[in-house]
Structures are given as structure tokens and as C-alpha cells.
Amino acid sequence: MIKKQSFGIWFNLVVAVLTVVSLIVYGVNISGEGYFKGASVGNLILYGVIAIIMLAAVIVLAQLQITGTAQKVMEIISGLLRIAVPVLLTLALVNLVSARAEGLGFIYFSNADVLQEVQTPANMSSATGTIANMICLGAAAIFAMIAAFFTLRKKDA
């Protein structure tokens, strides 16, 4: 039976969900028509998946009823994972921004005449998709940072 979870656990779950959503938005963005079709970003999926696995591990570890030194060790491991997750998500976001900057520059900043050529509906929606991707990842990273503050163990009554 799944016992009642602390607020911290729920929050970490939210982070995991946000990460998954980011990866989905990313997948949609690079498979849809438009400027960024096929434009995969190195390591993005890798970091995202590792972050999700780490969050899963954290949630699982928090379910374990252990005490003593083992518990200390688990807390350290869990804590380190919870510090690593926002770092990974931040790196994923930075990778994404770096890969997309030139393309976005083209779409928004070309000189007037070229702009007309580049701003097709498909490209604009692709650009919006990529920006949404960045926002999702950014939110996941920030939430992950906040999540690191919360205790995972429900306070014993």
C-alpha cells in the first residue's frame, strides 16, 4: 500500500512530470514542420531521462523504512541526487538555448527583407514551440531547486 506522502514527495513528483512534459514538447517541436524540424539537441533527452531516473530514485528511497547509519547514508545519497537534478535540468536548458539561439536570431532578427521570407507560419509555430520547450525546462529546473528544500519524510506525529 502506498502510504501517505509528504508534501516534498509530491513536489518532486511535479518536477518529474514537468521534466517529462519538457521532453514531450521537445519531441513535438523537432518532429513538427518548421524551422526546427529534425534539429535534435545533443544530450537533452539524456539529461532529462537521467533527471527523471534520479527523481524516481529519490522518491523510492524516501519510502524505505530504515534507521541509523543506513538512513544517514540514504539521506546523503538522496540529497545529492536532489542537488544533481536541478543542475542537470539547468545544463539541459542551457544546451537547448545555445542550440537554438542562431535559429531564433534568424527568425526574429533578420533584416526586414529576409524576415518576410523566414517568418512562415510553420517556422513561427516551430519557434513558439521551442520557446515553450525552454519555458518548460526552465520551470522544471526552478521547481527542482525549490524541491531540494523540502523534507521528504512525513513528520512523525
Partner 1 sequence: MRAKKLAPVMRGLSAVTASVMALSIVGADIADGYRARIDDFLGTQSYVTNTDEDSARFVSDYDTFEDMKAAAKDIAVREGEEGTVIMKNDNSVLPLSGKSVALFGLAAYAPYPYASGDLKAGNTDAVDLVQAFQDAGVEVNQTVMDFYENGILNEHTEEVANQWTGEMETQVAYDHIYVTAPGDMTTYQIAEVPPSEYENLGAPSGWESQIDKDNTVGICVFARGAGESNTYAPGSAVNYAGEETGEDPLALSEDELAVIDKAKETCSQVVVLINSGNTMVLSDIAAGGEHEVDGIAYIGCLNDYQAIGVVNVLTGQINATGALTDTYVADNSSIPAVQNFGGGYYADYEVVNSDGDDPRYPGTTIENIEAGSFGGTTPTYNGGTYIVEAEGIYVGYKYYETRYYDSIANPDSGAASAAGATQSDAWSYNDEVLYDFGHGLSYLDYTQELRSVNVDCTEDGEITAVVAITNNSDQDGRFLAQLYAQQPYTDYDRENNVEKSAVMFLNSAKVDVAAGATEEVTITIPTKYLASYDYTNAKTYILDAGDYYFTAAAGSHEAVNNILAAQGYTTAEGMDAEAAGAVQIWNLAEMDNTTYSVSNGTEVTNVADDADLNYWTEDDTVTYLTRQDWEGTWPVNYNEVEINISDSPKSEEWIAELRGQTYTIQDGDAATEGTDSGLRFDTTDIQYEQLDNIEDPFWTELVGQITIDEAVGAVIHGGSQTDTLTNIDNPVVVQNEGVSGFTAAYTDEETGETYRFNVHSQTLLGSSFNPELAYDWGRVEGNSGLWLQRYHLWGTGLTQRRTPYNGRNYEYISEDPMLTNRMGYGVLQGCADMGILNGPKHMGFNDQEHNRAGISVYMNEQKFRETDLRCFQGGLEDADGMAVMIAFNRIGATNASHYAPMLQTILRGEWAYTGLISTDMMNNNYYFNPESMIMAGITQVADFATNDNHINMGDGGTDATWAYIDEDTVSKDAALVDQARENLKYQLYTFANSAVMNVSTERVQTWWDNAISAVTYISGALAVVTLAAWIVLTVKPEKKKEEE
Residues at the interface with partner 1 (CB under 8 A): 33-35, 37-38, 42-43, 72, 75-76, 79, 82-83, 85-87, 89-91, 94-95, 97-98, 101-103, 105-106, 108-114, 116-118, 122-123, 141, 144-146, 148-151
Q: Which is nearer to partner 1, 53 or 146 (CB)?
A: 146
**Cα–Cα distance between 81 and 75 in angstroms, integer?**
10
Q: Which is nearer to partner 1, 21 or 97 (CB)?
A: 97
**Residue 153 is inside which H or E element, if any?**
none
CB of 30 to partner 1, least distance (A): 13
Over 64-77, what HEC string results?
Answer: CCCCHHHHHHHHHH
Q: Tell me the H-state helices in the chain.
A: 7-31, 44-63, 68-109, 112-118, 121-147
CB of 106 to partner 1, least distance (A): 6
Q: What does the buried/exposed string (b/e) look like for 26-36 if buried means 16 or more CB atoms within 10 Å of the residue's CB?
A: beebbeeebbb
CB of 42 to partner 1, least distance (A): 4
CB of 52 to partner 1, least distance (A): 16
